[in-house]
Amino acid sequence: MDIQDLHCIVVGAGTGGLAAGALLARKGVQVTLLESQGYPGGCAGTFTSGGYRFDAGATLGCGFHKGGPMEVLGRELGISWPIKPEPVAWQYRHRDLSIDLGGSRKEILERFPRSASFWKEQSMLAELLWKLSYGGLSWPVAGPRDLAILARKAISEFPGTARLLKFAAKTAYEWLADHGLDADDEFVRFIDAQLLVSVQTTSRHANAVNAAIALDLPVSGSYRVDGGIGAISGMLADSIERDGGAVLYGKKVIRIDSIRKEVLGVETEDGDALAADLVIANLTPDSLAILDGRTPAPAGVEVTPRWGAFTLYLGIDSSLFEQPGLNHMQITAGEGELGECGSIFVSTSPVDDPSRAPEGFRAVTISTHTRPEPWFEALARGRQHYLELKELYTRRILDLLAEQIPEAPQAIRSVIAATPVTWESWTGRHHGYVGGYGQTSLFEVRSPSTAYDNLFLVGDSIFPGQSLPGVVTGARRCVELALRRYGK
């Protein structure tokens, strides 16, 4: 079959699905993307409410540096991203500690001088990993071709790749212990807070290699996106259509039709049935199981994301955030677990982006990790139980915000709260799981491949996981495996 005769259906207009669809359309594949909502982006979308444009989930633009996954994708698709560098990636606050994270480790080293050898090693690993990931990652291995590609890359970056091997089976905490940092509770909490956001787990469980690249994100550069993070998705959707594809909104896929190991097409809630040679699903494995008529696997059976998010969307007086270039802040509580309001990530719309908020105000997104199950259990007990839990989490987040910014409560003009129940409704993700899987091992990761020969997964639930660079790298791998099936 010629590539121009190949018809692909993409389910879901998250960044991963859009990137995969755009890459396929650029290669000449007939692409039809189906999205249940009225706009693209999913967890990395931007929505309008009360005159504000809020980033729904993802708020930090990264991977746009020279040679980074987003920069390479833009060049390949002919897209000029509407981005500007952030002077500060984000500011970390814990009790009386305040550290600006950015291109320099200066403030970190001033506060934690004994960590110098750790950061030197981290920088070496991250530089190597960015090089190895250029053009895509042939992992997990899906045959001799992947082994050959990995071997060529390993040889080209030798002896760095040999040094990398000793970190492959090590946790980030063991890596910290190698540098005598495991007993420094304040430093470990600092590292844990960053890892929970970027690899969905803390140092005692996070794989050291995953941690090395995650901890490099502030150094490699963060970027603001004019109009909100959802502008990225809009431009990817436009790219699909420019290359002859179609992006259809309000088309909720309710079933995947198959026979034996072959997917035939999909059915939508409005009664349409669409045939396809190839289907790419921007879904979690649990959500895919539902469309396929199966019961989602219980926790621990599959590599699936297990965190949800509780998110507040605030309209706030602009004067509350006056430090130029500081649009993101991470605040951790004095002690206790980092999930369930123990750590919050605060993102504000840039003061010079009038499209995001009324004059004199900022659109603010605040999120914390939360386990989805208690939210659905509360809802099952009755609406009042659910609303009480929602009110409790809102109060906890605003209290933690006020610990660092006492004037915050008086500056808030509007509040919207979203729970895992909300996320399930918005995104179609079973139980509202967001953020990807806990990156605890390089050898227990999910490939884009599924039980069907012509059905592939994309998004933050497959390797290498969450973030714009993560899902775009995963999308590139998905496209590679999908076309390989057709000898392309």
Mean of the pLDDT values across residues 412-433? 94
95-104, 155-164, 277-286, 425-434: range with lowest mean pLDDT? 155-164
Mean of the pLDDT values across residues 111-126? 96
Structure tokens at 71: 């920069």
Q: In 3-state terms, what secondary structure has residue 375?
A: helix
Which of 192, 219, 246 is the last residue in one of the domains? 219
Residues 282 and 244 in one domain: yes
In this structure, are residues 274 and 406 in contact, taking their beta carbons and an 8 Å threshold? no
At residue 297, the pLDDT reads 53
Please say if the pLDDT value at position 410 is more than 50. yes
- Is 427 part of a structural domain of the chain? no
Please say if the pLDDT value at position 301 is more than 60. no
214-218, 289-293, 390-394, 476-480: range with lowest mean pLDDT? 289-293
Confidence grade of residue 304 (pLDDT, cut at 50, 70, 90): very low
- Is 245 part of a structural domain of the chain? yes
Residues 181 and 236 in one domain: no
Amino acid letter, residue 194 = Q
Q: In 3-state terms, what secondary structure has residue 26?
A: helix
At residue 292, the pLDDT reads 81
Parent domain of 130: 115-219
Residues 201 and 125 in one domain: yes
Structure tokens at 323: 């430090």
How far is Cα 436 from Cα 39, in angstroms, rounded to an integer? 22
Mean of the pLDDT values across residues 90-118? 95
How far is Cα 18 from Cα 229, in angstroms, rounded to an integer? 14
Residues 268 and 236 in one domain: yes
Mean of the pLDDT values across residues 359-380? 96
DSSP strand pairing (7-11 vs 222-225): unpaired
Which of 184, 219, 254 is the last residue in one of the domains? 219
Please say if the pLDDT value at position 298 is more than 70. no
Looking from the CA of 242 toward its CB, the CA atoms found within 13 Å total 12
Please say if the pLDDT value at position 302 is more than 80. no
Compute the Cα dihedral for 181, 87, 459, 371 and give only its sign.
Answer: positive
Mean of the pLDDT values across residues 291-297? 71
| Counted domains in the chain | 2
Residues 32 and 180 in one domain: no
Amino acid letter, residue 213 = I
CB burial string 61-85: b at 16+ within 10 A, e below: bbbbbeebbbbbbbeebebebebee
At residue 154, the pLDDT reads 78
Mean of the pLDDT values across residues 158-165? 81
Residues 267 and 183 in one domain: no
Which of 193, 219, 245 is the last residue in one of the domains? 219
407 backbone dihedrals φ, ψ, rounded to 5°:
-80, -5
Structure tokens at 244: 């002859």
Residues 177 and 235 in one domain: no
pLDDT tens for each residue of 440-487:
988 888 999 999 999 999 999 999 988 899 999 999 999 999 999 887
Question: For the chain, how far is it from start to end, CA to CA, in angstroms?
Answer: 10
- Using a 10 angstrom Cβ sphere, with 0-12 exposed, 13-18 middle and 19 or more buried, the burial of residue 255 is middle
At residue 296, the pLDDT reads 62
Confidence grade of residue 56 (pLDDT, cut at 50, 70, 90): very high
Structure tokens at 234: 């809009």
At residue 31, the pLDDT reads 98
- Is 253 part of a structural domain of the chain? yes
Q: Is 231 left (phi over 0), alpha (psi -120 to 50) or beta?
A: alpha
Residues 237 and 285 in one domain: yes
How far is Cα 240 from Cα 19, in angstroms, rounded to an integer? 9
Residues 297 and 444 in one domain: yes
- Is 389 part of a structural domain of the chain? no
- Sheet with 343-348, strands from edge to edge, namely 97-101, 90-94, 328-332, 343-348, 361-370, 308-317, 412-418
Please state the length of the chain: 488
Please say if the pLDDT value at position 15 is more than 90. yes
- Is 295 part of a structural domain of the chain? yes
pTM of the model: 0.93
User: 235: domain CATH number?
Assistant: 3.50.50.60
- Is 200 part of a structural domain of the chain? yes
Confidence grade of residue 381 (pLDDT, cut at 50, 70, 90): very high
Closest CA to 440 of 143, 146, 168, 37: 168
Please say if the pLDDT value at position 300 is more than 80. no
Structure tokens at 367: 């999120």
Confidence grade of residue 299 (pLDDT, cut at 50, 70, 90): very low
- Is 264 part of a structural domain of the chain? yes
pLDDT tens for each residue of 180-220:
999 999 999 999 999 999 999 999 999 999 999 999 989 98
Please say if the pLDDT value at position 405 is more than 60. yes
Residues 164 and 70 in one domain: no
Residues 188 and 245 in one domain: no
CB atoms within 10 A of CB 425: 12
Residues 201 and 255 in one domain: no
Mean of the pLDDT values across residues 245-272? 95
- Is 400 part of a structural domain of the chain? no
Instruction: Strands of 273-360 (E only): list them.
Output: 273-275, 278-281, 308-317, 328-332, 343-348
